[in-house]
Structure 1
């Protein structure tokens, strides 16, 4: 049963930010296991009936092709379908949408944005989320896709190579209570129309999955 994140969750990540080393990790691993990972697993189980099975990301960074060799992530992130939640020294962050897309997905996304029925629908969804205080993120071009009319009515959306909505809450006593589960669920529900639009018009094919796997190698 989810009862909230542990009292040491924020302190653990503040310490990891200050000393991102194997020695710190080994000395404080019990805090991660008991105050971060176990509560995150309980949170996902509590949300599973409505949002589907969740998965917690590994705490170790993949530094093989990165100039930044810091070994550990300074947040615990998890997904349930197109939904995301993380806990860190900054508190809780939740999101929904597509954080990264391979070329085939980008092509389908832009075709849907260009469509005179589906594109305006997305435009309305994004505007409504923004009005409700959600931030809109996603990697995007600085200019415009090749061949795109500079006066396209949805040029800003066409620049995106990924698209998601997100919001966050600073650490508070609520972080350590069961109320976190309903707050996360309420945010995910509000972002669901965006996730559903992306699933319907972009989705993930077998080729997309294979390309994504190649990129992670």
Structure 2
């Protein structure tokens, strides 16, 4: 199947330069059509190609502009892998970044995460997964200053127990790939690198829906 995504044209960067800083409403509206055509539409095409390449990536959304200038300056999109477990994409003047994320947790998900981190088998598995990520990834999240009180401060994974969200991000390389269809393969490569982490999160953090009564 031929791919829809042919790359972000260099004119997309011109549009984003015009929206840099604190653009007025007039500036934003003047560039709305060009931004839709040159910035947002290629992201839609890229996500469609990802879904065609792997059915797991079929549940995606590409953000609109909203009122905040940030959303005009950064084109975001997500691929939903499980409840609050996502692949996120962001295209802006710094290029294309891809992340694997568990964030904005539902009530109980943080407890699920900590329980899995504390358990020897699943906790050690997560440590190995994070250690195996290529160096280009930056791992971050919402981290408490102190560990949760229900676990001893000398727990072997005390640092991980402080996390209330977990995000691994890296840029797409080479940077020039964003201007060609090659970006699809580059994003698929990043998704493969994130597969073990996202799979762990989907297994251990997502709370199963209650069974309907018989």
Fold match (TM-score > 0.5): yes
Residue of structure 2 equivalent to 1:80: 79
- Give unpaired runs (5+ residues) of structure 2: 81-85
1:57 counterpart (45, 59, 63): 63
Structure 1: distance between partners of 2:93 and 2:136: 22
2:203 counterpart (200, 204, 208): 200
Please list, as runs of the form range in 1=range in 2, the aligned pairs for 1:50-199 lying within 5 A after superposition. Answer: 50=54, 51-61=57-67, 70-73=68-71, 74-81=73-80, 82-129=86-133, 131-169=134-172, 172-199=175-202
- Give unpaired runs (5+ residues) of structure 1: 62-69, 208-217
Decide whether aligned partners of structure 1 residues 99 and 20 sit closer, same or farther in structure 2, where only a CA change above 3 A counts.
Answer: farther
1:47 counterpart (32, 45, 50): 50
TM (norm. structure 2) is 0.85
Deviation at 1:156, TM superposition (A): 1.1
Residue of structure 1 equivalent to 2:41: 38
TM (norm. structure 1) is 0.84
Decide whether aligned partners of structure 1 residues 172 and 124 sit closer, same or farther in structure 2, where only a CA change above 3 A counts.
Answer: closer
Count matched residues.
Answer: 198
Deviation at 1:31, TM superposition (A): 1.8
Query: How much is the aligned-residue C-alpha RMSD, in angstroms?
Result: 2.0
Contact 2:7 2:179 in 1 (8 A): yes
TM-superposition CA deviations, 1:160-201 (whole Å, max 9, x none):
100121101489432210011110110011101100100111
